[in-house]
Amino acid sequence: DSGVTQTPKHLITATGQRVTLRCSPRSGDLSVYWYQQSLDQGLQFLIQYYNGEERAKGNILERFSAQQFPDLHSELNLSSLELGDSALYFCASSGGDPGETQYFGPGTRLLVL
């Protein structure tokens, strides 16, 4: 158990819908990262937050957004969903320095029908 929690574990929705994925980092960790893993693209970095502020952006679509709240949990919002958004979404957290070791949550499996 990494100490990072993600909800829900599974999500099934329809095209055009909007969903929210939630992540709670390890106790004391300030950085949260979101990654997407699809069959054809592998694990790809989406976005990073550090102590409530956006720190870095990767291959995140404009339909996707995220935020980190004062209690340090984070949410990833996916809107206007397409079939190709079906993937595993992982959250990771690290300590005070963003370069520290990242620990991953169990992921949310999203299926868009």
Partner 1 sequence: DAKTTQPPSMDCAEGRAANLPCNHSTISGNEYVYWYRQIHSQGPQYIIHGLKNNETNEMASLIITEDRKSSTLILPHATLRDTAVYYCIVRVARGSQGNLIFGKGTKLSVKP
Distance CA 44, CA 65 (A): 15
CB-CB contact of 91 with 34 (8 Å)? yes
The minimum distance between CB 20 and partner 1, in angstroms, equals 19
Q: Which is nearer to partner 1, 16 or 87 (CB)?
A: 87
Please identify, using beta-carbon distances, which residue of 3 and 16 lies nearer to partner 1: 3
What minimum distance in Å lies between the beta carbon of 84 and partner 1? Answer: 18
Does residue 32 contact residue 93 with C-beta atoms inside 8 Å? yes
Binding-site ranges for partner 1 (CB under 8 A): 2, 4, 31, 33, 35, 42-45, 48, 55-56, 58, 88, 90, 92, 94, 97-107, 109
CB of 16 to partner 1, least distance (A): 26
Look at the block and give the residue holding tokens 């106790």. Answer: 27
> How far lies 24's CA from each of 34, 39, 58, 106, in Å?
12, 25, 21, 11
| Contact by Cβ (8 Å): 4, 104 | yes
Of residues 73 and 109, the one with the C-beta less far from partner 1: 109
Nearer to partner 1, 24 or 31 (CB): 31
Closest separation in Å from C-beta 42 to partner 1: 6
DSSP 25: P
